[in-house]
Structure 1
Amino acid sequence: MPRIPVVDKEACISCEVCTHICPEVFEMQADGKSGVHNPAGAPEEKIEEAMDNCPVACIHWA
């Protein structure tokens, strides 16, 4: 079973880094925070690149 990325909305600072690196999975949502719109939209390596570049490390695997 594939892992699912999750954004901690409390920690997200709305920097949009994840949405630029991996727009297939992450998008800015109505609350102004990043969110997951397609958890299986990209290879895990690309999702992990977004995780690694998040300045507040608010993206985790569920």
Structure 2
Amino acid sequence: MRMFVRVVDAGSFSRVANELNVTTSMISKEIGRLEEDLGVRLLRKRSFHDVVDLLPVTERP
């Protein structure tokens, strides 16, 4: 959950990965596990550079 909050605050997987000295793949996997556990998609990629938006509740499946 902390990783999710950091990504939302930063707006980017890449920024958080750089701050924590981990790969963006690791960040993505953590977020993916959280989404799977909750059964909802939480983030939407906005661009090629891993920039993300919090997905509005109305757009979540």
Q: What TM bracket, shorter-length normalisation?
A: 0.3 to 0.5
Higher Rg of the two aligned structures: 2
Per the normalisation by structure 2, the TM-score is 0.36
Asked which structure has the greater RCO (Cα within 8 Å, sep 6+), the reply is 1
Higher strand proportion: 1
Per the normalisation by structure 1, the TM-score is 0.35
